[in-house]
Amino acid sequence: MNLLQLLGLLVGVSVLLPMSLIGFSSRVSGWAKAGWVMVTMLLSWLGFALFLLMTGYRQASHDDHKHSS
pLDDT tens for 5-44 read 999 999 888 888 989 999 999 889 999 999 999 998 888 8
22: number of Cβ within 10 Å: 24
The long-range contacts involving 13-21, CB below 8 angstroms and separated by at least 24 positions, are: 14/44, 14/45, 15/44, 18/44, 18/45, 18/47, 18/48, 21/48
Per domain, the residue ranges of the chain are 11-68
Q: Dump pLDDT digits (tens) for 40-66.
A: 888 888 888 888 888 886 654 555 555
pTM of the model: 0.65
Sequential DSSP letters for 5-25:
HHHHHHHHHHHHHHHHHHHT-
